Amino acid sequence: MQVLLSSGSPRRRELLSLLGIPFLVRIPNISESQHKGETARRFCARISREKALAMARQYPEALVIGADTVVVVDGEILGKPRDMNQARDFLMLLQNKTHDVFTGYTLMLGKHAKSRVVRTRVRFKQMTPEEISWYVESGEPMDKAGAYAVQGIASLFIDHIQGSYTNVMGLPISELYDDLRCFGIRFQGE
């Protein structure tokens, strides 16, 4: 069975490759705007379904995986920063606090679909203005939800993670592994 990742995220590609199954990558063209009153959990679940559906229509025989990750602090969704100033603002909000990272993913094969949202709690240390500037100037925050990459330089400032580490990277691989098996995907050693 062909597996297709409906996402342009290099981190998701990297994580999915850990499972040792061949897959194709296609980038969906969908709007990722939040609806008024939509919670972060519902938002990332909806976007993951829309990403999966966009590719499932084009590849009806493939098992399609759509995913979306959001960072939420004090009830506010922090997307990818539009510029360095917004990245600084995001990091100011995150420092010395615990925030939530939600990843929604949807598996779709024909008329069968399964969606799941995984939540991880992340706590940042207090950061000096110089540390924030140094991190932003590294360029790492610029294409990341919440303006940080847990697997990169930002790890210097993360005090605690409760839940799935790979979820913070963009794909909760343990949960995905279980759900892929339910769709008949077999892994090495099985």
What are the residues whose beta carbons fall under 8 Å from the beta carbon of 121, sequence distance 6 or more?
98, 99, 100, 101, 160, 161, 162, 163
Active site residue: 68, 89, 100, 179, which one? 68
Catalytic-residue membership of 68: yes
Q: Would you say 178 and 20 are in contact if contact means Cβ atoms under 8 Å apart?
A: no
For residue 176, the surrounding DSSP H or E stretch is helix 173-182
* Catalytic center residues: 68
